[in-house]
Amino acid sequence: MSTKNETLSQQEQQELLEKYDPESASRKLKGIMGIIAFVLLLSFSLFQLYTSIFGVLTAQLQRSIHLGFALALIFILFPARKKDRIHHKVAWYDIILALIAIAVGAYWPLMIDELVNRVGRLTPTDFYIGLAAVLLVLEATRRTVGLPITIIAVLFMVYALYGPYMPGFLAHRGLELDSLIQTMFFTTEGILGTPLGVSSTFIFLFLLFGAFLVKTGVGQYFNDLAVSIAGKRVGGPAKVAIFSSALQGTISGSSVANVVTSGSFTIPMMKKLGYRKEFAGAVEAAASTGGQLMPPIMGAAAFLMVEFIGGGITYWDIAKAAAIPALLYFTGIWIMTHFEAKRVGLRGLKDEEMPNRKEVVAKIYLLLPILAVIILMVSGMSVMRAALWSILITIVVSAIKKETRIGFRDMIDALVDGARTALGVAAATAAAGIIVGVVTKTGLGLKLANGLLDLAGGHLLLTLAFTMVASLVLGMGSPTTANYVITSTIAAPAIILLGVPDLSAHLFVFYFGIIADITPPVALAAFAAAGVSGGEPIKTGVNSAKLAIAAFIIPYMFVLSPELLMIDTTWYYLIWVVFTALAGMMLIGAGIIGFWLRKLFWYERLIGVVGGLMLIYPEKITDIIGLGSFVLIIALQLLIKRNDTAETSPAS
């Protein structure tokens, strides 16, 4: 393709990832330390595969070994300061920290009988091992995920220790340091709690699955497939970005990684056809962020949701419920980019810029592993087994053609890459466990839920608005997993107390935690996209938030109308709800962009936005008003003849 030479090189992509994604800023080790890191990463994956095949160990053993591997590798691979990652040597103090991490991870397996027998009583050795575990987790989280979530975890621990000095309803009896350490490392309510448990089982296997898929070249195939389907349409490259990013989201749980890998291909293509730098970056950022919302393999927090909601809910129940909201999200971005392309008169790709369709069709088999995941989970297979079988299916399917075949060396590389990807998730979930432990031990969750309800006066929409703000603020500095853990234990209960179904409440905070990646002023996905496009970061963030306006509306939709999550509904009513939602987003998109069949007058744009919001609120009268607005705008556009047609300058 003609755009091939304009795409970012692998080195440029890696530099962008390291700049905007802390989990990618690791040392490039050589020599003996490089060999040690390689062996540890490989051993980490082999341990996870072994326990998933032959049976997961007891909670404390599985999670502590997982934690020990992750912490040791983090101190070997991630320097204390980012600027030190260019060095190929590991600092002496990091070697000491890695050895302590191994000791911490091995403590439960070596001492399990004694620890079980003296439950509730700590020896001095227990105390210092537990204290070391807490401090190592905090430092590992700072290195891999960033400072904000680390500070939040520390503040929660301070709250636990100094409860009597807290103001108003936040006051509590307070915990002694040894009691806090016991909760953090010697129960399954702290660091070794549910978040790390999910990381050590479901999440790790799906990260491995994604690593094996990458080895088949499926990422480039997603791009070619997207170009084949959408490339020749109006504003084709932008639609390619949306389609490609939705597909990339099935193998990547990171908004930033999705932006860099997919955007290095789509953004130069958009710029070449006349899209403004900021708009090109915004399209990719908005679409890539939505990848975490895209079933069948959603962001890591979706796996946590299974455990947090409980009640027999399965991952497939969550993926199924998220299907229509994900469809609405990407449709909303598609509508906005379509209207923008028409407004500025942008064409699609020419025939010579398109990939060979026969070659694209010939590689359709690369999608079989993703289809297999869906079929296996629908059939009732456990998430872990489905992931295992999908890895095996990926290896078998790759052998169909020589250029996609996964050899033995590729398998080893995939195991190493999967383990490396899991390090940031393990650190984030361990830190999230600290927060959950404090919330559980102090009753803070219920206190804050009641406080949130009092602040909102018991009104659902106000409670949702406050929860949205909290999720966005937390998400600006925290990974989705940690954000979800905090908001699901503090804010989601407030929504549930108002009669909202558990699944709706948890998906609400999940969505806004993800959308934080494109919400200024700290919009990491948008900033990464600006790094690819050369545009201004804040403007790119503002544009991406505007394009993803549907994402700010959809969570309210499925709280007010749980039928969108396929909860207690009929098919005919579901079709009606989806129809009105799509019509509403079309009106809002036209109103915000200012174009539909032609340029819209200011009052037409106002009618569009208001009518769209009416269609989104699930009431008969609002549906009537919204559909009336839809018909009115269509009629106005057809009846009013205007000489000033759409602007054709790409710079507009």
- Cα–Cα distance, 205 to 485 (Å, whole number): 20
For residue 521, cis peptide bond before it (omega within 30 degrees of 0): yes
Q: How confident is the model at residue 355 (pLDDT cuts 50, 70, 90)?
A: confident
Q: Which has the minimum average pLDDT: 381-385, 412-416, 502-506?
A: 381-385
For position 647, what pLDDT does the model report? Answer: 45
Residue 625 pLDDT > 80: yes
- pLDDT, tens digit, for every residue of 206-229? 889 989 988 988 877 888 888 888
Residue 5 pLDDT > 50: no
- Cα–Cα distance, 635 to 640 (Å, whole number): 8
- Cα–Cα distance, 240 to 263 (Å, whole number): 10
* Long-range contacts at 439-443 (CB < 8 A, ≥ 24 apart): 439/156, 439/489, 439/490, 440/183, 440/189, 441/160, 441/175, 441/180, 441/183, 441/189, 442/159, 442/160, 442/163, 442/172, 442/175, 443/172
For position 646, what pLDDT does the model report? Answer: 42
Phi-psi region of 174 (alpha: psi -120 to 50; beta: other; left: phi over 0): left
DSSP states along 233-283 = STTHHHHHHHHHHHHHTTT---HHHHHHHHHHHHHHHHHHTT--HHHHHHH
- pLDDT, tens digit, for every residue of 455-513? 888 899 999 999 888 888 877 767 777 778 888 888 888 899 899 999 999 999 988 88
Of how many residues is the chain composed?
652
- Cα–Cα distance, 391 to 414 (Å, whole number): 10
- Cα–Cα distance, 106 to 159 (Å, whole number): 30
Query: Element (H or E) spanning 597, and its range?
Result: none
The CA-based dihedral angle spanning residues 98, 437, 511, 470, taken in that order and rounded to the nearest 10 degrees: -110
For position 486, what pLDDT does the model report? Answer: 82
Residue 246 pLDDT > 80: no
Q: How confident is the model at residue 648 (pLDDT cuts 50, 70, 90)?
A: very low
Q: How far from 38 is each of 89, 352, 417, 449, CA to CA, in Å?
A: 15, 44, 10, 45
Q: What is the mean pLDDT of residues 394-411?
A: 92
Contact 471, 458 (CB under 8 A): no
Report residue 334 CA to chain centroid gap: 20
- Cα–Cα distance, 565 to 573 (Å, whole number): 12
Percent of the chain with pLDDT over 90: 32
Cβ neighbour number for residue 630 with a 10 Å cutoff: 22
Residue 534, classed as helix, strand or coil, is coil
Contact 219, 248 (CB under 8 A): yes
Q: How confident is the model at residue 251 (pLDDT cuts 50, 70, 90)?
A: low
For position 253, what pLDDT does the model report? Answer: 62
Q: How confident is the model at residue 3 (pLDDT cuts 50, 70, 90)?
A: very low
DSSP states along 422-433 = HHHHHHHHHHHH
For position 63, what pLDDT does the model report? Answer: 97
Which residues, including other chains, have CB under 8 Å from residue 600's CB and lie 6 or more apart?
590, 591, 594, 608, 633, 637
For position 296, what pLDDT does the model report? Answer: 78
The CA-based dihedral angle spanning residues 604, 609, 615, 616, taken in that order and rounded to the nearest 10 degrees: 170
Which residues, including other chains, have CB under 8 Å from residue 273's CB and lie 6 or more apart?
235, 236, 237, 346, 347, 349
- Cα–Cα distance, 280 to 429 (Å, whole number): 33
- Cα–Cα distance, 259 to 266 (Å, whole number): 10
- Cα–Cα distance, 47 to 473 (Å, whole number): 37
Q: How confident is the model at residue 316 (pLDDT cuts 50, 70, 90)?
A: confident
- Cα–Cα distance, 106 to 123 (Å, whole number): 17
Q: What is the mean pLDDT of residues 52-80?
A: 95
Name which of 10, 17, 38 is nearest 415 in CA terms.
38
The CA-based dihedral angle spanning residues 493, 496, 497, 500, taken in that order and rounded to the nearest 10 degrees: 160
The CA-based dihedral angle spanning residues 338, 340, 341, 346, taken in that order and rounded to the nearest 10 degrees: 180
Cα–Cα–Cα angle for 509, 500, 463, rounded to 5 degrees: 60
- pLDDT, tens digit, for every residue of 113-171? 999 888 778 899 999 999 999 999 999 999 998 888 899 899 999 999 999 999 888 88
- pLDDT, tens digit, for every residue of 530-571? 888 888 888 998 988 888 887 788 899 889 888 888 887 888
Name which of 208, 207, 215, 205 is nearest 399 in CA terms.
215
For position 18, what pLDDT does the model report? Answer: 67
Cα–Cα–Cα angle for 445, 448, 451, rounded to 5 degrees: 150
* Per-residue DSSP letter, 595: B
Contact 289, 263 (CB under 8 A): no
For position 446, what pLDDT does the model report? Answer: 82
Residue 19 pLDDT > 80: no
- Cα–Cα distance, 496 to 519 (Å, whole number): 26
Residue 577 pLDDT > 60: yes
Q: What is the mean pLDDT of residues 386-414?
A: 92
Q: How confident is the model at residue 106 (pLDDT cuts 50, 70, 90)?
A: very high
For position 272, what pLDDT does the model report? Answer: 78
Task: Looking at 59-176, list the stretches that DSSP marks H as alpha helix, in order from N- to C-terminal side.
Answer: 59-77, 92-117, 124-144, 147-161
**What's the burial of 179, exposed, middle or buried (CB within 10 Å: 0-12/13-18/19+)?**
middle
Q: How confident is the model at residue 85 (pLDDT cuts 50, 70, 90)?
A: low
Residue 4 pLDDT > 70: no
Instruction: Give phi and psi for 87, each to the nearest 5.
Output: -80, 150
- pLDDT, tens digit, for every residue of 440-455? 899 888 888 888 888 8
Tokens 């080790």 belong to residue: 29
